[in-house]
Structure 1
Amino acid sequence: MSGRNKTIALLTFLVIVWGINWPLSKIALSYAPPLLFAGIRTVIAGIILIFAALPKWKQLQFRRLWPVYLTSAILSIVFYYGFQTIGLQYVPSGLFSAIVFLQPVLLGIFAWVWLGESMYGLKIFGLLLGFLGVAALSIGGFNGSISPVGVLLALASALSWAFATIYTKRNAARVDMLWMTAMQIMIGGVILLAAGSATESWSAITWNSAFIVNTLFIAVFVIALGWMVYFKLINEGEAGKVGSFTFLIPLISIGSSVVLLHEQITTNLIVGMLLIVASIILVNVKLGRTHG
């Protein structure tokens, strides 16, 4: 498989598993409190990744690199999942996800400022179109009273994800990417599990097949393999360009919600899909002298 085809295959996998994560998480949350659910799935993923990384044991260098692992865990796991699970209680999920998916726009800007990636008019326009697409998809979430706390938590979720990606890319040369992913997920999962154990009740979890299957699927494919693929792509390609493809995630999320949760297809959905496709084309197009 050529490098380009491999990248496309990895991006396709990532968009699909991160897309179906939203309705699957929604189903699982009806059987468990949010922080305990977030902690359980993340710790399982962390254990899987540690086993996968064991052959590279010498590259862990925990004594020297633990500050990098901890910072990354707090930004991309504790803050991202924490703000998300708490914030969803304050605002409709559509509005929340629209704000969270500001992340690729923020990432495009941060990658330009801190990583020296190129920025030009067409790319900016493409990033903005992508956000407009997500907003159109989620317009249903704008009905009803909007909680400022929920909006701030959604913004905090998007910011922590963007900062985590930049931080990971800036430190990529110092760490082994597999150990970096394993450590941040394990450390983040343990912190989430501790927070859940302190504030929620384990007896509130219903250990039925729907909860167990969803949790295992999310742990293995969405978190363990998903983050591994995401950081591999970020490490090898432009952070902003990879980030732009995350705009496709709400498309998969809504499509799978239609199937799994019987949500309806609307005009907003079609408009949003067209805007997102246009966004990805614009962000990834190469212009003469400009290397995008």
Structure 2
Amino acid sequence: MPKLSRSRTAVYLVFLIIMWGVNWPLSKFALEYTPPLLFAGLRTCIAGLLLILVALPRFRELRFRQNWPIYLISSLLNIVLFYGFQTIGLGYVPAGLFSAIVFLQPVLLGIAAWLWLGEGMSGKKLIGLLLGFLGVAAISIGGLAGHIAPEGIFLAIGSAVAWTLGTVYMKKTSGRVDTLWMTAIQITIGGIVLLASGAVVEDWTAIRWEPVFIYDMLFISVFVIALGWLTFFKLIGSGEASKVGSFTFLIPLIAITCSVLFLGEHVTLNLAAGLVLIVLSILLVNGKQRRLAARSSSTAQS
């Protein structure tokens, strides 16, 4: 996949961070109207079907007979396990703690990209990734109040691991599949599995089909899932996975800012401390690469 320009990368990153940040309060609000698994299945099915409609003019790029194992594995990791573990796990532990554990993913992604994708790993980069995770933990520390069950901890770790493996797998196979079809098919397959699971264990009549819920679900389906995952995979396919991962540490910050503005939550010292750690993380993870690139450029010119 060709590299994105710096300006386009910046636009994609800003869009992704904002959309995935507002997803947390929007999803929390939607769960007042619907059971969790049915909601997860509905929003992913809608997103997948929309992407399939967009991808239809490029039908030849689908190559389903050749690529179906890639679609299936990616769907299992990025959608079924990632969303499934989240949906179930939030019933066992507070949301703040759960999100902090899930955002161990950028640290795991940096290590996995070093081991399996051949990306560079320095002490400074590793420290940066760890600082980012500590920043997310500091922001989410309020969620430690409440009942904590071991099952929830394991499901949160499972969600982070599934997302990490799915991202690495997508990066390794990005040259063999069309990004749009990959995103559309994996979201659709995952949505069908989640919806079928919800239909078995939950009650359709429990959904309150009020306009505010429908608007919320459609926004999440289109902007958070369909366009969000497409943007994420474009960034991963065209750049270093660990660099993209470091910016996702900002997502909980956006989520909590939206909660402060729209849900009446309060700014705390933890939020300020977490922001400082996240900014330091991004500078450490990305700063050395810029210096190395500048050094290589000056060497080539001399």
Question: Fold match, TM over 0.5?
Answer: yes
Partner of 1:77: 79
Structure 1 residue 286: Cα displacement: 2.2
Structure 1 residue 289: Cα displacement: 4.6
Structure 1 residue 67: Cα displacement: 1.0
Task: State the one-letter code of the partner of 1:60.
Answer: L
Partner of 1:246: 248
- 2:171 paired with 1:161: no
Question: Of the candidates 55, 61, 64, which is equivalent to residue 62 of structure 1?
Answer: 64
Question: Of the candidates 178, 189, 193, which is equivalent to residue 191 of structure 1?
Answer: 193
| Aligned equivalents of 2:131, 2:211: Cα separation in 1 | 40
4+ residue runs over 3 A deviation: 287-291
Contact map agreement 2:92 2:147 (CA 8 A) in 1: no
Partner of 1:282: 284
| Aligned equivalents of 1:22, 1:203: Cα separation in 2 | 24
Partner of 2:95: 93
Partner of 1:200: 202
Structure 1 residue 7: Cα displacement: 0.3
Structure 1 residue 254: Cα displacement: 0.2
| Aligned equivalents of 1:113, 1:286: Cα separation in 2 | 19
Structure 1 residue 143: Cα displacement: 2.0
- 2:271 paired with 1:256: no
Superposition map of 1:167-186 within 5 A: 167-186=169-188
| Aligned equivalents of 1:127, 1:220: Cα separation in 2 | 30
SS for the counterpart of 1:80 is: helix
| Aligned equivalents of 2:261, 2:13: Cα separation in 1 | 22
TM-score by length of 1: 0.97
Task: State the one-letter code of the partner of 1:148.
Answer: P
Partner of 1:210: 212
SS for the counterpart of 1:263 is: coil
Task: State the one-letter code of the partner of 1:191.
Answer: V
Identity of matched residues, %? 62
Question: Of the candidates 215, 221, 224, which is equivalent to residue 222 of structure 1?
Answer: 224
| Aligned equivalents of 1:270, 1:289: Cα separation in 2 | 31
TM-score by length of 2: 0.94
Structure 1 residue 260: Cα displacement: 2.0
Unaligned residue ranges in structure 2 (runs of 5+): 296-302
Q: RMSD value over aligned CA atoms?
A: 1.2
| Aligned equivalents of 1:101, 1:134: Cα separation in 2 | 7
Partner of 1:152: 154
Q: Could you tell which deviates more after superposition, 63-72 or 218-227?
A: 63-72
| Aligned equivalents of 1:65, 1:20: Cα separation in 2 | 33
Task: State the one-letter code of the partner of 1:142.
Answer: L
| Aligned equivalents of 1:23, 1:262: Cα separation in 2 | 12
SS for the counterpart of 1:286 is: helix
Structure 1 residue 132: Cα displacement: 0.4
| Aligned equivalents of 1:144, 1:76: Cα separation in 2 | 29
| Aligned equivalents of 2:284, 2:136: Cα separation in 1 | 16
| Aligned equivalents of 2:146, 2:233: Cα separation in 1 | 37
- 2:127 paired with 1:132: no
| Aligned equivalents of 1:229, 1:289: Cα separation in 2 | 27
